[in-house]
Chains A and B, each alone.
Chain A
């Protein structure tokens, strides 16, 4: 009992009071669960089943999105759980249970649960091209999917087709390159999960890096009888950021020294990590921040013309018809232009102002641009959370009805039981969104100053460099606030 109280106290102390870290692996049941080989398999199997129900329902169920589980479960329930709960609290825990790479991984290992001690991987094991050893493919892939999001999130068959593609691609990739190259370099969801997991309150880290450095056999990379070498192609002993750790927990199983910790920590713990910062991640920040605004504008705004443009294939009544590329092309231009060029350019100007204001010439502008881009992570994440709040609060009844009639073909086993569409506290939603936005802004300001301090440790240069960033963050936040309440 005393131990439990201690756990609870430390849990809240690390998460809320920002005092130190708390290793969840100290809790026996979590330790045993994560070390059990069947844990990830079981989690994936459950999702695999749901995944195939969703695909089948997408192809053969009702074409009306809000009556089909493929839309309701994926784009309301899963999305909300992912962005509002899983990413901020549990980092890339979704990757632990994601069913997309399941078949490929099992095929390559020729095993479902057990670790085979002597076997040949079913893969050519080619090295991943070094030029693609970044998240540019994920950036562009996410932008491409986002461009067609009006179709994706409203047409069950489109969701089913995209999920099927995302299911088949990793199988082929694993046969050529092995391991989780799909998750690491291609998965459009993985890109932003990696970026936003830097803000998360959970991290997997080595307890003692010196021990890892001096440990010659490196089982976390090579694997042993207890588990596989890291499928995410990283060195767990050197982990400093969450970005590319998919929380498969193989390293916890293979480490002979139990030298890994699953820490609860304060929010945003990785934003100040100096390793791994690069332009591809900077652009991911710009893309995510811009798309959050555009999604709110197009999907939750009153401008019908934007919805017309986004809805390139119209469906009267639920067939396929092209409404006009004339509107879609400017829409694509706005999405890609703002995300890839306008937002980064404006940010570049403010970064230039920061450098000028600091009075320090020795810090390269490119380094400053990349470093400061990480301050956008809390604001972008909170903007996405704010976008997601009405998805659930307004449309929650669709989830209940989809459970009662998953494919929307009148299978309702509880005949007569139907939940009418009733938004939950709809008038309060803009206020909730504004509060969430304010939290993101406060965190972004906090990290902006600390990033400035990293670059300008002397005197008041950090403060002077930080002020233009505050102006930028406030400007962006005001745009979001106007979308919510103006």
Chain B
């Protein structure tokens, strides 16, 4: 009975995740313009959320010193110079959460100057959802393991 319940739970998780992963993207393919202001030691807005397939035009400015604009996993690394406006275009083709990092030493907390670029699929953060399902799977498996061993 325990084993059947566990197998059922696993199967349900798998089906839900597969359905989300393979479902066609509900939105995306739009051109989204995002204005970002860099300052010591943050980007404003700090979190940029778009849909997979969107073409994102980042319009970048700095209010103090020179900053960098680097996105993990995307081939983007530009310098934002005071008094100038930089524009960089990104096609959000990979879903998930990607850190935006400052690539120019800009002061004491420079290594911690971080933003987030979140690309949704079908309106959800599929990477987070998958990981959350995985974590629940770990909980179920570990619980079942210690329960069955009983030591």
Question: If the complex has contacts A463-B147, A485-B125, A486-B128, are A303 and B42 also in contact, measured as CB distance less than 8 A?
Answer: yes
Which residues from B are CB-within-8-Å of A421?
A: 103
Tell me whether B59 is interfacial, beta carbon within 8 Å.
Answer: no
Which residues from A are CB-within-8-Å of B134?
A: 434, 438
A-B contacts counted at CB < 8 A amount to 140
A445, B43: Cβ atoms under 8 Å?
no
The A-contacting residues of B in range 52-110, CB under 8 angstroms, are 70, 72-73, 94, 96-101, 103, 105, 107-110
Question: If the complex has contacts A154-B109, A463-B147, are A441 and B46 also in contact, measured as CB distance less than 8 A?
Answer: no
The B-contacting residues of A in range 430-486, CB under 8 angstroms, are 430-431, 434, 437-438, 441-442, 445-446, 449-450, 453, 463, 466, 470, 473-474, 477-478, 481-482, 484-486
Q: In the complex, A61 Cα to B125 Cα: how many Å?
A: 44
A311, B101: Cβ atoms under 8 Å?
no
Q: Is the interface of A mostly helix, strand, loop or mixed?
A: helix
How large, as a class, is the contact surface on chain A? 35 or more
A232 CB to closest chain B CB (Å) equals 32
Which residues from A are CB-within-8-Å of B98?
A: 426-427
Q: In the complex, A404 Cα to B7 Cα: how many Å?
A: 56
Chain A 184-218 interface 0/1 with B at a Cβ cutoff of 8 Å (1 = within): 00000000000000000000000000000000000
Question: If the complex has contacts A304-B39, A426-B73, A486-B128, are A66 and B135 also in contact, measured as CB distance less than 8 A?
Answer: no
Tell me the count of chain B residues lying within 8 A, CB to CB, of chain A: 48
Chain A 291-311 interface 0/1 with B at a Cβ cutoff of 8 Å (1 = within): 000000011111111011001
B97, A486: Cβ atoms under 8 Å?
yes
Tell me whether A394 is interfacial, beta carbon within 8 Å.
Answer: yes
Selected contact of A449 from candidates B111, B113, B135, B146, CB within 8 Å: B146
Among residues of A, the one whose C-beta sits closest to the C-beta of B112 is A299
A481, B146: Cβ atoms under 8 Å?
no
Q: In the complex, A462 Cα to B47 Cα: how many Å?
A: 43
Report A's interface with B, CB cutoff 8 A: 64-67, 150, 154-155, 298-305, 307-308, 311, 314-318, 390, 394-395, 421, 423, 426-427, 429-431, 434, 437-438, 441-442, 445-446, 449-450, 453, 463, 466, 470, 473-474, 477-478, 481-482, 484-486
